[in-house]
Structure 1
Amino acid sequence: MTQYVVGVDFGTLSGRAVVVRVGDGAEVGTAVHEYRHGAVERTLPHTGEALPPHWALQLPADWVDVLRHAVPAAVAAAGADPADVIGIATDFTACTFLPVLADGTPLSDVLPGERHAYPKLWKHHAAQGQADRINALAASRGESWLPRYGGKLSSEWQLAKALQVLEEAPEIYARADRFIEAADWIVWQLAGVETRNACTAGYKGVLQDGSYPSKEFLSSLDERFGDWVSKVDGPLSPLGGRAGSLTAAAAAWTGLPEGIAVAVGNVDAHVTAPAAKAVEPGQLVAIMGTSTCHVMSGDALADVPGMCGVVQDGIIPGLWGFEAGQSGVGDIFGWYVETQLEGGLTHEELTARAAAQRPGQHGLVALDWHNGNRSVLVDHGLSGVIVGQTLHTRPEDVYRALIEATAFGTRTILETLESSGVPVTEFIAAGGLLKNTLVMQVYADVLRRPISVIGSEQGPALGSAMHAAVAAGTYPDIRAAAAVMGRVSRAVYTPDAAAADVYDHLYAVYTELHEHFGRGGTDALHRLRALREEVAA
C-alpha cells in the first residue's frame, strides 16, 4: 500500500496543503486557500475601526478554513485514497500569537470588537516601544538569555506583543487564560490537546535552558506582568514528535482518517531546512518571500549580534539552531510596483529592464528597511533609504537597487555569523523569489557564493510533511526523512567575478549608510517615524 502524509503551510495571506508520498518524498497533490480577511492591517473586520500604524492581525477562522478547503482539495488533486494518509503536520509564520480561553477559544471570537483580542501577525510592529524597554532592562540587569538573541529582542516576539496587550488593554490580558503561538493553536484544533513546540518556545518565547525570563524580571517591567509565564508555560514537545491523534471534528474538516498522527507544530522557515536537505552544521537556508528568514544549524553555541535567536534543538535535534531575518524583501518589491508606480509597470517588465543593466550603472544604493530591520540591528523603528537619485533615474534603476539592497542585507547577516565563529558552508535558497532569476544572480554576485536551490516550490509544506512522516513512525528522525524525502540542486547560480567586484564597492557604501542610519550616526529615521505617528494620532 502506498502511504501519504499531508503538510500544511500557513502563510501571511494564504494556506497551502501538499500531499507527499512517504516512500520517496514525491509531491503528488497541492491546493491553496486564500484567507478571506488576509492580513488585517488597516481596519478591524467586525467594526471597521481604523487600526493604528504598524498593526497586523489575522483571524483564526481563516486558518481553520484552510483545513476545510485546501486539505481535501490537495488529496483530491493527488488522486489519493484518504485512508492511505497516515499523518498530518503544520507550520506557521512566527511570531503569530493570540490570546485564548482555557479551552483554546480565541478571544477574538468572544470579543470581536477589541483589536487586542486578535492574533498579532508576525509583522505586527506596534510593540517597538515595549521591545525597547525590555531590551534596556535586560541589558541593565545582565540577563543571561539576552545574548542568545543577539543582544536585543524583536518587537515581533512574544514578550513585546504581550506587554503591549497588558499596557494598552489590561482587561484583554486578564481575560486571556493562555497566550499561544498560532503554530501550536492549529495543532490544538487538529489533535484536541495543547502542546508547545520547542522551536517557537525558544526563538519567540525566550525559553532558554529550560526556563523563561524570571518573575522578578517580568514584574520589573510591570508588576502585573509577573504572571506571564503561567499564561504560556505548558508541555514542551520536540520537533518531529507526535502531538496527538486527529480528532473526529478535524477529520470531518479535512476528510482524513480519524486517529492518524498529528505532528508537533513548527515554524515555516525552520521546517524548510530538512526539506532542502540542510541538516548538517553550516548549511544555511534562506527562505525568500515577502520577508526572508535565514536558518542554519551549528555544532556549538555562539553569541551572534543581531540574531533572532540561538536555540538548542531549535531546527535539527542535537544541534544549535541559528535564526536571522529581513523583515521586508518581496514586500519591498511589491510596495514599489503597486504604490510608487501605480500599475504603470509590472514586475516582469521591471525585471527585464533591470537585467539589461550592468552592476553599478544606476548609481544608487538603498537600505532595505521599509519594514524595519530584523537582523542585525533589530530595530523596527527604522525605514527605507535610497541615495543617488537624479533627474535621470528610471523606475528600473530603483527596482534593481531595491533588489541589491536586500542582497546586501543578507551579506551583512552572513558576515556577522562568520565573524562570530559560525561558518556558513553552503547557501541554499527557498521560497517564492526563486522564480526571479535576476534576484538569484544578484544574490550570488553580492555574496560571492554559489547558491543552491531547494527542489520544491512548497518547501515549508514539504518539510512539514516530512515531520508528519516522523511523527507517524515511518522514519526514526528528521535526518533519515530528509535523506529520502528532501530535495536540493547544488550550485545552481554561481557568482560572476566582474559583477562581484563592482558589488564590493556598492556594499561598502551600503555598509557606511547602514552604520550611519542604523547605529547612531543620526536618529533622523526615528524622528520621522515619531512625527508620522504623532500626526496620524
Structure 2
Amino acid sequence: MTSKKAQTTVHGAVHSAVLGAIHGAVLGVDIGTSSSKGVLVDPADGTVLATAVRRHPVSRPAPGHAEMDPELWWEEFTGITAELLSGRPGPVAAVGVSGMGPCVALTDADDLPVRPAILYGVDTRATDQIARIGAELGVEEILRRCGSVLSTQAVGPKIAWVAEHESDVRARARRLYMPSSWLVRKLTGAYVLDHHSASQSAPLYDSAAQEWYGPWADRVAPGIELPPLRWPGEIAGRVTAEAAAATGLTAGTPVITGTVDAWTEAVSVGAQNTGDLMLMYGTTMFLINTVERRLLEPSLWSTVGAFPGTRNLAGGMATSGAVTEWLRALFGSPGHAELLAEADASGPGAQGLLMLPYFAGERTPVADPRARGVIAGLTVEHTRGDLYRAALEATAFGVRHNVAAMRAAGGDVRRIVAVGGGTQGELWTRIVSDVTGLEQEIPTVTIGASYGAAFLAASSVGAASIEEWNPVLERRVPDPANTARYDELYGLYRDLYPATARIAHTLTDAHTLRDAHTLPDADANGPRRPGS
C-alpha cells in the first residue's frame, strides 16, 4: 500500500498524519498502582497478540505515604517486553508507555533516583505544604492559572515536602519524572513530559498558556530542570542500543511520549469527544469528562486533554477496587466470581448496609485526605455478600457524586464508556448504572491503559481507528425500579459523610500522632485538611 499525506481531524484538532500500513506489531506498557501490564497488538485491527503482567506492592512507610522505587518500573518493563517478544519473530513498529500519575520521582544530575517516587493523590503527606503554598500564591489565582486548586494530587506541594523533611535529598534533586517519562528516558535518553501530566503538576504549569510557569516553578521547585513538553502521542525518541540490549527491542524503534494511565484508558475506548465520560474501574475509580472549553471547579480537576485542543474535567476516588480487595483478603481470599454471586444475591441496598468508601481519604469532590471509611447499619445477621455488595454500591454512589459535580461545573455527560478490570463480571457496572441512572458502553477490549498506549504508538507511525480496534460489545441499561431505590439511599449516602466527618478526623489525627512516634519518616504534625 502506498503511503499518502493527509489532514485528519482527531477530536477537534487538526493533525498531519502519514496514512499507510504499519509494519510490525505495536507494544504498549502501563505502570499501574498494583501492577504493570503490557500488550502486543496487531495495528491492522487492534487484535491483542500477547499480554504480560507484573504485580507489585505500594510502600507505605508512614501514615498517608505511598511510594514506589522508579527502578522497579524499568525492571518490570524489561521483563514484560522480554516475555511479550519471546518466540515472536518480526519487528515492533512503535512503543507506547503510560503510568499512574501525577507522581514525583526526583533524580540527581546523573538521573539516579534520590528517593522513592511519591505517588499521586493516594499519598496525602503534603497537606501542610498544600495549605502554605495556597496561602502564599492565592487559592483563586492557582485555580485560575493552573486549572485546579492544590490537593493531594498536586506535584508542587510534594516537592516542597521533600525540601522541608529531607533537605539533603532535595539538595541533590535535579530532574522530575513520572512513570511514563521515566520509561521514555530509559528507552531513548530523551528527557520529556507530556502536556497532560504537566497540567496535573500544579502550581508548576499554566494550563491556559499550556506551558511551564517559571515564576512559580522557581519558587516551589527551585533547581529542578523541568522537562520539555510534548503531546502524549508524539514520538519522543527512538530506542537506544543500550535499551535494545536490555529489552529485546530493535534499536531505532520509535517511542511515544505517553501520559497518565487514566488518560490512555480513555484513549483505549475512544472516550475523547465532547460529552464523553470515561469511567475507569480499578484499584481506584477515575472519571474523565471531555468538555468544550476550560472549566474551573475547585472540587474537581481541570486538565489539558490527551490530544491537542482537548480539555477535560476529571475526578478520582481514592479507593474502589482497593476496598473490595481488602474485603476479599479479610474473607480468606475467595474467588471474585464467588463473592460477586453472593453480592448479587444480597440485592439492592445490601440488606440495610450503607458504606462510605473513603478508606484512604477521598479525592474528588470531597477533597478530604482525613476522611475515613464507614459501614453503617451492621448487624450480626449480615454476610460477607452483603458487605461486598455495600462496597460496590459505595463506589457507585461516589461515581454519582462526581458526575453531579461535573454537571454542576458545566460538564456535559452524554456518553459513558467503562473500562478496566472491574468491568468483568457484570454486577459492578450494573450497580453503577442503576445508582446513576445512566447507560454505560462496555467495549470489546477493557484491558485499558496499556492498550491505549499501544493505540497511540500505532497512530504515531501510521493510520489507526479506535472504533475499528475496540467496538462496543455490550451496554448496561439502568433498571428504573433499582434506580428509584438507590435514589433514596443516595440521599442517606450524602448525609453520612458530614454526620461522621468530625469523628473520622479525630480518629485519623490520633492514629497519625501515635504512629509518628514509631515511624521516623512520618510528619509529626499529622495530616491536616487545608483550612481546618
Confirm or deny a common fold (TM above 0.5). yes
User: Which amino acid letter does the alignment assign opposite residue 288 of structure 1?
Assistant: Y
Distance 2:471 2:157 in 1: 37
Q: Normalized per residue, which structure has more helix?
A: 1
Distance 1:407 1:154 in 2: 23
Q: 1:234 to 1:415 in 2, by over 3 A?
A: same
Corresponding residue for 1:164? 161
- Per the alignment, in what secondary structure is the counterpart of residue 495 of structure 1? coil
User: Which amino acid letter does the alignment assign opposite residue 243 of structure 2?
Assistant: A
Q: Deviations over 1:383-422 (max 9, x none)?
A: 1112122333332222211111100000011111112211
The aligned runs of 1:14-93 (5 Å cut-off) are: 14-35=35-56, 38-41=57-60, 51-76=61-86, 79-81=88-90, 83=91, 85-93=92-100
Q: Deviations over 1:428-471 (max 9, x none)?
A: 11111111321111111001111111321422111101111233
Q: Percentage identity across aligned positions?
A: 26
Distance 1:10 1:403 in 2: 25
Cα pair 1:283 1:426 within 8 Å, conserved: yes
Corresponding residue for 1:336? 327
1:349 to 338, 349, 368: 338
User: Which amino acid letter does the alignment assign opposite residue 397 of structure 2?
Assistant: F
Corresponding residue for 2:147? 148
Corresponding residue for 2:306? 315
User: Which amino acid letter does the alignment assign opposite residue 68 of structure 1?
Assistant: T
2:246 to 229, 250, 253: 253
1:178 to 171, 175, 179: 175
Is 2:251 aligned against 1:267? no
Corresponding residue for 2:422? 433
What is the aligned residue count? Answer: 491
1:524 to 489, 495, 503: 503
Cα pair 1:16 1:30 within 8 Å, conserved: yes
Corresponding residue for 1:304? 297
Greater displacement, 206-215 / 494-503: 206-215
Cα pair 1:147 1:305 within 8 Å, conserved: no
The aligned runs of 1:356-395 (5 Å cut-off) are: 356-360=345-349, 362-395=351-384
Q: 1:140 to 1:371 in 2, by over 3 A?
A: closer
User: Which amino acid letter does the alignment assign opposite residue 482 of structure 1?
Assistant: I
Distance 1:514 1:452 in 2: 30
Q: Deviations over 1:191-229 (max 9, x none)?
A: 1110111111012344122454664x67xxxxxx72616
Corresponding residue for 1:104? 111
Corresponding residue for 2:523? none
User: Which amino acid letter does the alignment assign opposite residue 62 of structure 2?
Assistant: P
CA apart distance, 1:304: 2.8
Distance 2:306 2:426 in 1: 28
Q: 1:127 to 1:429 in 2, by over 3 A?
A: same
2:186 to 185, 189, 192: 189
Corresponding residue for 2:279? 286
CA apart distance, 1:490: 6.0
Q: 1:213 to 1:515 in 2, by over 3 A?
A: farther
Cα pair 2:29 2:96 within 8 Å, conserved: yes
Corresponding residue for 2:18? none
CA apart distance, 1:25: 1.4
Distance 2:43 2:103 in 1: 30
User: Which amino acid letter does the alignment assign opposite residue 323 of structure 1?
Assistant: A
Distance 2:266 2:274 in 1: 11
User: Which amino acid letter does the alignment assign opposite residue 276 of structure 1?
Assistant: V
Distance 2:311 2:437 in 1: 26
Distance 2:143 2:58 in 1: 35
Q: Deviations over 1:263-282 (max 9, x none)?
A: 00211110121210212111
- Per the alignment, in what secondary structure is the counterpart of residue 259 of structure 1? coil
Is 2:413 aligned against 1:424? yes
Q: Deviations over 1:269-325 (max 9, x none)?
A: 101212102121111111111101111311212223411x2223x223221122211
- Per the alignment, in what secondary structure is the counterpart of residue 145 of structure 1? helix
Corresponding residue for 1:44? none
- Per the alignment, in what secondary structure is the counterpart of residue 380 of structure 1? coil
- Per the alignment, in what secondary structure is the counterpart of residue 73 of structure 2? helix
Distance 1:401 1:134 in 2: 38
Corresponding residue for 1:201? 198
TM-score, normalization by structure 2: 0.87
Moved over 6 A (4+): none
TM-score, normalization by structure 1: 0.86
Corresponding residue for 1:128? 127
- Per the alignment, in what secondary structure is the counterpart of residue 106 of structure 2? strand
User: Which amino acid letter does the alignment assign opposite residue 39 of structure 1?
Assistant: V
- Per the alignment, in what secondary structure is the counterpart of residue 118 of structure 2? coil
Cα pair 1:297 1:316 within 8 Å, conserved: no
Q: Deviations over 1:234-275 (max 9, x none)?
A: 211112111011111111122111011110021111012121
How large is the RMSD of aligned CA atoms in angstroms?
Answer: 2.2
The aligned runs of 1:216-227 (5 Å cut-off) are: 226=219
Cα pair 2:40 2:50 within 8 Å, conserved: yes
CA apart distance, 1:104: 1.8
- Give unpaired runs (5+ residues) of structure 2: 1-21, 518-532
Distance 2:130 2:290 in 1: 26
Corresponding residue for 1:327? 318
CA apart distance, 1:525: 1.5
- Per the alignment, in what secondary structure is the counterpart of residue 23 of structure 1? coil
Q: 1:416 to 1:389 in 2, by over 3 A?
A: same
CA apart distance, 1:497: 0.9
